[in-house]
A and B are shown apart, each in its own frame.
Chain A
Amino acid sequence: MIPGSFSYHRPSSVQEAVGLLAKLGDDGRALAGGHSLIPMMKLRLAEPAHLVDLAGIADLKGIRSDGNDIVIGAMTTQHDLIGSDLLGTKIPLLRETSLVIADPQVRYVGTLGGNVANGDPGNDMPAVMLCLNASYHVTGKGGERRISAREFYQGAYFTALEAGDVLTAVRIPVPAAGHGGAYEKLKRKIGDYATAAAAVVLTMSGGKVASCSIGLTNVAETPLWAEEAAKILTGSTLDAATVKKAVAAAEAITAPASDARGPAHYRTKMAGVMLTRALARAKAKARG
């Protein structure tokens, strides 16, 4: 399994990378950690004539606070996310999610930017980004713009990115202090994509849900933001009857494929089970 021939480019700035990708058009592809792209190239499902490696661009790495947001460079690896004290304090959900992605070796190399930009519905971070209301910094021919994660995913491997665009950073508003978050993922083995998974962030006030946001992984062509389910839960004590109603609303928006991970109706039900578990765990972590 050897990929097809290509020319290799290693720009040292975002401008240079964007210029190269604009010039190369459909012949060029950006390379981040490569743990999605290289396997696809080995299978000749992707045969770019030019690879533009983003690894030499120092600006694309690192995790920093910016006002009420945290900004994470696209080339920051899952391993870096796990080791970040800043994230551990402000958004522990990212550490928790990173720990169930692939395996240690893949996490040393796999990047957040690649995970969210690739548009693979099996990737875990996109649903977490919908849940956290993240936005993506994108630089293209026309300069820099921001795209809400909730408007980014249009189909399997089909996103709001246009030819020549580079996703440079992920911006996440820090959830309120005292929030609880959880990511529950059902998988057959280490390294597997989710049969179904659910991300929850909620805040509690006086024993009731003050705010709630839910993302679902790998149960449709795109990650899902379960807005209606979250609305049903807001104001409740997360009593069994309300949770059941919310789970039904979340299940209703799923449209998984039947595959080796199970038939479609099973995966829908598992999305519900993952949501129920994530809600209970998020509530236990929340203060208020």
Chain B
Amino acid sequence: MAKSHIKITVNGKAVEELVEPRTLLIHFLREQLSLTGPHIGCETSHCGACTVDLDGKSVKSCTMFAVQADGADIRTIEGMANADGTLHALQEGFREMHGLQCGFCTPGMILRAYRLLQENTNPSEEEIRYGISGNLCRCTGYQNIVKAIQYAAAKLTGVPFQEAAE
């Protein structure tokens, strides 16, 4: 099968590659670009571990061919830290609020939460839970993930973070 030539911006860097049309975006990112942050969980577009940000949308990269992403601007967890190397507010939030245990879902959670906070800078707890409903976590029970996102929302909007009473 003839390979297709694609040009993509990944984490701010221009990338030109040849791909087989059937190559899924997640495999392209992990195997061709060695970006192993996005994870392969269910492979059936349920779990959200493969979530990346693509042209201002959160997408499950296991359910998209790399050729479909030709011309797109993609961000993965590898591109989340600030330019000076300090952690992004979401990464800091997940650390401070213990938003992860095994960490498998975390790259997808953070990329999804990133887009959620772009669209809604001050989401309610309910909006956060609905916003991450396409991402499964089997460790935390979500409680601390919600807190981590609230922490980041507060930091990004310059408001002191206050943990809700249990």
Q: A106-B45, A191-B46 are in contact. Are A7 and B59 (CB under 8 A)?
A: no
Most chain A C-beta atoms within 10 Å of own C-beta, residue among B65, B112, B132: B65
Count of interface residues, chain A, beta-carbon cutoff 8 Å: 28
Complex contact B21–A102 (CB within 8 A): no
Check B134–A6 contact: CB distance below 8 A.
Answer: no
Q: Are A104 and B112 in contact (CB under 8 A)?
A: yes
Q: Among the listed B22, B51, B58, which residue makes an inter-chain contact with A6, where contact means beta carbons less than 8 Å apart?
A: B22
Closest residue of chain B to A191, judged by CB? B46
- Residues of chain A within 8 A (CB-CB) of B1 are 5-7
Give the bracket for the number of chain B residues in contact with chain A. 20 to 34
Residues of A near B149 (CB, < 8 A) are none
Query: Separation in Å of the B27 CB from the closest CB of chain A?
Result: 8
Cβ contact within 8 Å between B44 and A104: no
Complex-state Cα separation, A42 to B63, whole angstroms: 9
Binding-face segment, A21-29, A31-39, A212-220, A266-274: A31-39
Question: Do A109 and B59 touch (CB < 8 A)?
Answer: yes
Could you say which of B4, B22, B68, B131 contacts A4, with CB atoms under 8 Å apart?
Answer: B22
CA distance A283 to B3 in the complex (A): 56
Tell whether, in the assembled complex, residue A2 and residue B134 are in contact, meaning their CB atoms are under 8 Å apart: no
**Distance, CA A102 to CA B116, complexed state (A):** 16
14 new A-B contacts at CB < 8 Å, known A34-B63, A102-B134: A2-B24, A7-B2, A7-B21, A8-B4, A39-B44, A51-B21, A103-B48, A104-B130, A104-B132, A105-B58, A105-B112, A106-B63, A106-B134, A109-B64
Contact surface of B with A, Cβ cutoff 8 Å: 1-2, 4, 20-22, 24, 27, 43-46, 48, 51, 57-60, 63-65, 67-68, 70, 112, 116, 130-134
Give 13 A-B contacts (CB < 8 Å), ordered by A residue.
Answer: A2-B24, A2-B27, A6-B21, A34-B63, A38-B64, A38-B65, A104-B112, A104-B131, A104-B133, A105-B58, A109-B64, A190-B134, A191-B133
